[in-house]
Amino acid sequence: MIWVFVASVIGFVAAACFPGVMRPDSFHQYEQAITGRYTDWHPPVMA
């Protein structure tokens, strides 16, 4: 019974956090992609 509970909690956390969590750095990089103005803070391959 405990394994069913553990599996359901893992499934809930995986569904709630898929595909990941946006951190402030991710928002900043997304803003650069939208505006087309890039800084030298992130690696070029990420742009």
**Per-domain boundaries in the chain:** 22-47
Return mean pLDDT, the chain: 87
What average pLDDT does the segment 13-30 reach?
Answer: 85
User: Is it the case that residue 45 has pLDDT exceeding 80?
Assistant: no
Q: For a pLDDT cut of 70, what percent of the chain falls above it?
A: 98
Q: Say if CB 32 and CB 39 are below 8 A apart.
A: yes
Percent of the chain with pLDDT over 90: 28
pTM of the model: 0.51
- 9: pLDDT strictly greater than 90: yes
Task: Label residue 36 left, alpha or beta by phi (over 0 means left) and psi (-120 to 50 means alpha).
Answer: left
| Alpha helices by DSSP H, 1-47 | 2-17, 24-35
Tokens of 17: 């956090």
Residue written as token pair 């103005």: 37
